[in-house]
Structure formats: C-alpha cells, structure tokens
Amino acid sequence: MEERYRILIGKPGLDGHDRGAKFIARALRDAGFEVIYTGIRRTVDEIAAAAIQEDVAAVGLSSMSGAHMRLFPAVVNALARAGGGDIPVLGGGIIPEEDIPALQEAGIRAIFTPGTPIDTIIDAFRQACRQHRQQEAG
C-alpha cells in the first residue's frame, strides 16, 4: 500500500493572511498528500474537531500575526481534550527563532520559520505522518 497521508492545514485566530498556508497546501498536494484546508479565522476547537473528524495523520498551523505562542499550544491542548492527542502538530509563519524551544516544549512537532525551503516542510510532514501511522499500527 503506497504512502497516502491525510493532513489538515489551518489558520487559528484572527489573522487573514493565507498566502503561505495556501501555498503549502498546494505543495503538499503536489507531493501526494490529501490536504484538508480549513480556511482562515478558525478557533482552536474547530481545528481540533475537524482534524479528528477527518482522521488526519498530522495538523499544520500557520500564523502571521504573532499570536502563535498562545494559539499553537492551544490547538495541541484542544486536540488532546477532544481525544486526538496523538495527532502531531506542525507550525509555521512569522515566528522568531527564540520562540521555537517554548513551542516545542508545548508539544509542537516542528516549526518552520520564514524562508524554510518547501522540501524541508514536506519531509517533516511525511516523517510526522509516517510515525503516526506506525504508532497506530503498533
């Protein structure tokens, strides 16, 4: 069975700049992923609920407005509350390097700062999905 992964890309909070998120969604599609894109202005609970309903292998979050420190961990928590704590969360956007350790501590699997090559991002998703699938099988 070839590797086919379902992932969800979402923008939590009020930020409306979706150019980056849309590009990544398309690039992931071109790399063979099935991408569920939830659009802008989603609450963390909505994103978590959708991720669970769609049984995705990973969640990708985008933030361009500086609210990532609160919003990304909040999604991780919302997923856990809704019974999806095993789903890895990856994040990207306008995120200063110094925020990365705190985000990782809060449970974000990988962070993509501006200028990260798309291939790096795709690999990270593939890794996360693969691990998730192995966990579920085991």
Partner 1 sequence: MQPDALVRGLHRGDARSVARAITLVEEGTDQGMAILEKLDRERIDRALVVGMTGPPGAGKSTLSAQLIAQLRDRDLRVGIVAVDPSSPISGGAILGDRIRMMRHALDPKVAVRSMATRGRLGGLCSAAGAAVRIMAASGCRVILLETVGIGQSEMDIVALADITVMVLAPGFGDDIQAMKAGILEVADLLVINKADQPGARRLHLDLAAACRDGDKGGQKILETVASEGQGVDELLDRIFLLEEELRQGPGMRARRARSFELETLDQALELLREPLRRRIRDMEGGNRDPRRLAREIVDRLVGRKPGSTAAGGKHGR
Partner 2 sequence: MADKKDPRLREWEEQELAASLARCPERRQRFTCAGGREVERLALPDEPDDRYCEDLGFPGRFPFTRGVRPTMYRGRLWTMRQYAGFSTARASNERYRYLLDQGQTGLSVAFDLPTQIGYDSDDPMALGEVGKVGVAIDTLADMEILFNRIPLEKISTSMTINSPAMILLAMYVAVAEKQGVAAEQLRGTIQNDVLKEYVARGTYIFPPRPSLRLITDIFRWCADHTPLFNTISISGYHIREAGSTAAQEVAFTLANGITYVQAALDAGLSLDTFAPRLAFFFSAHSNLLEEVAKFRAARRLWARIMKERFGATRPSSMMLRFHTQTAGSTLTAQQVDNNIVRVTIQALAAVLGGTQSLHTNSRDEALGLPTEESVRTALRSQQIIAHESGVADTVDPLGGSWYIEHLTDAIESESAELIRQVDEAGGVIACIENGFITSQIEEASYRFQQEVEQGERIIVGVNRFQVDEDMRVPVLKIDPAVEDEQVRRLHQVKAERDRMQAETALSELEAAARSGKNLMEPVLAAVRCYCTLGEICGILRRVFGEYRD
Contacts to partner 2 by CB under 8 A = 13-19, 22-23, 26-27, 39-41, 43, 65-67, 69-71, 74, 94, 96-98, 113-115, 117-119
Contacting residue, 38, 76, 103, 132, with partner 1 by CB under 8 A: 38
- Contacted entry of partner 2, partner 1, none for residue 101, CB cut-off 5 to 8 Å set by kind: none
Question: Which of partner 1, partner 2, none does 13 bind, CB closer than 5 to 8 A by kind?
Answer: partner 2
111 neighbors 104 (Cβ within 8 angstroms): yes
CA–CA distance, 77 with 121 (Å, rounded to integer) = 23
Determine the straight-line distance between the first and last CA of the chain, rounded to whole angstroms.
Answer: 17
